[in-house]
């Protein structure tokens, strides 16, 4: 198997808001996927000093956190605290408790988890809509 045989686990979603960074996380997230995610977020911060984030988990099968550079994780957390206002997660698992271990006790980020069947409420909370194909491949 070569790199062309694998599909990235992190997939950008087009939305009705330029300052909303929205992604699908599909299957297992490799260290390379994780490093790529931090790079995509840095690009979003360069375009918009304050952003909101939507993470839709689709058949999520874990993350290779131990294989992502410690410096990348540290800088990712620092930059998220500086740039992210709201973060909505959709689907399983609800990893908010895990994420909060990396953040101060009173993080400036407002984080909410939504069940997959409540996805519309997550989009509404962020005042946005998906544009184009959904996780199921249907067009919106």
- In the sheet that 130-131 helps form, which strands lie side by side, from edge to edge? 110-114, 84-90, 51-58, 20-26, 10-15, 130-131
**Res 119: pLDDT:** 96
pLDDT tens digits along 81-126: 999 999 999 999 887 777 767 666 677 889 999 999 999 999 999 9
Q: Which of these ranges, 4-8, 38-42, 85-89, 108-112, has the smallest mean pLDDT?
A: 4-8
Q: What percent of the chain has pLDDT over 90?
A: 58
Q: Find, among 44, 61, 53, 24, the residue nearest to 112 by Cα.
A: 53
Would residue 74 count as lying in a domain?
A: yes
Would residue 134 count as lying in a domain?
A: no
Total number of domains in the chain: 1
132 vs 71: which has the higher pLDDT: 71
Would residue 140 count as lying in a domain?
A: no
Q: Is the pLDDT of residue 138 over 90?
A: no
Q: What percent of the chain has pLDDT over 70?
A: 85
Domain encompassing residue 105: 3-128
Would residue 57 count as lying in a domain?
A: yes
Provide the whole-model pTM. 0.86
3-state SS of the chain: helix, strand, coil percent to 5?
35, 30, 35
Would residue 60 count as lying in a domain?
A: yes
Would residue 133 count as lying in a domain?
A: no
Q: Is the pLDDT of residue 9 over 60?
A: yes
Mean pLDDT of 52-71: 89
100 token code pair: 């909060």
Q: How far apart are CA 33 and CA 8, in angstroms?
A: 6
**pLDDT band, residue 134 (cuts 50/70/90):** low
Would residue 62 count as lying in a domain?
A: yes
Asked whether the CA dihedral 21, 88, 56, 124 is positive or negative, the reply is negative
- Those residues whose C-beta lies under 8 Å from the C-beta of residue 92, and which sit 6 or more positions away, are 57, 60, 116
Mean pLDDT of 71-82: 89
Would residue 101 count as lying in a domain?
A: yes
Q: Name residue 139's beta-bridge partners.
A: 133
**Res 102: pLDDT:** 66
CATH number at residue 72: 3.30.750
């Amino acid at each position: 198997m070569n790199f062309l045989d694998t599909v990235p686990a992190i997939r950008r979603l087009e939305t009705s808001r330029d300052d909303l960074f929205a992604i699908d996380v599909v299957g297992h997230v490799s260290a390379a996927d994780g490093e790529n995610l931090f790079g995509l977020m840095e690009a979003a911060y360069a375009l918009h000093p304050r952003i909101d984030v939507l993470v839709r988990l689709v058949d999520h099968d874990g993350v290779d956190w131990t294989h992502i550079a410690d410096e990348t994780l540290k800088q990712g957390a620092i930059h998220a605290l500086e740039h992210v206002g709201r973060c909505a997660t959709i689907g399983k698992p609800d990893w908010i408790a895990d994420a909060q271990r990396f953040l101060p006790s009173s993080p400036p980020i407002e984080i909410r988890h939504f069940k997959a069947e409540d996805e519309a409420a997550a989009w509404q909370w962020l005042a946005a809509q998906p544009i184009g194909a959904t996780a199921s491949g249907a067009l919106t």
